[in-house]
């Protein structure tokens, strides 16, 4: 597993060779399109958002690049996401319980 910075864009095919090379020089490890929309929504609605990115291809530079499956960590990524959602739900439930009992917020 790797962690690092990603480049999010809502403009398909903007990832030119020159732009990719520049992103690599900046330490960008991945390009994705979903987070741009999520962050725009969060900003417009003044809401917090979390984005988990499961990188599964090399921008169509290899045959079968978009193939996904259990061997590529799909189940592990879903398990991680499920655990994070469960933890957030627990925190929100605790927060609501504290507010209903007049206690200070834990968040």
Sketch the domain layout of the chain as residue ranges.
1-67, 70-107
Give the mean model confidence (pLDDT) for residues 68-94: 82
For the stretch 22-39, pLDDT in tens is 988 999 888 887 888 888
Between 3 and 16, whose confidence is greater?
A: 16
What phi and psi values does residue 24 have, to the nearest 5 degrees?
-60, -40
What are all long-range contacts of 8-11, with beta carbons under 8 Å and residues at least 24 apart? 8/32, 8/33, 8/34, 8/35, 8/36, 8/39, 9/33, 9/36, 10/36, 10/37, 10/40
**Would you place residue 77 in the very low, low, confident or very high pLDDT band (cuts 50, 70, 90)?**
confident
Calculate mean pLDDT across residues 73-80: 82
Q: Quick one: average pLDDT of 46-71? A: 70
Q: Give the pLDDT score at 52.
A: 78
């Amino acid at each position: 597993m790797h962690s690092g910075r990603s480049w999010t864009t809502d403009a398909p095919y903007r990832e030119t060779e020159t732009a990719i090379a520049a992103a690599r020089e900046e330490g960008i490890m991945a390009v994705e399109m979903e987070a741009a929309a999520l962050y725009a929504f969060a900003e417009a609605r003044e809401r917090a958002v979390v984005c988990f990115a499961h990188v599964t291809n090399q921008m169509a530079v290899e045959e079968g690049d978009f193939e996904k499956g259990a061997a590529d960590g799909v189940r592990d990524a879903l398990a991680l996401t499920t655990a994070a959602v469960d933890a957030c739900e627990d925190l929100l439930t605790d927060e609501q319980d504290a507010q209903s009992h007049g206690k200070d917020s834990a968040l």
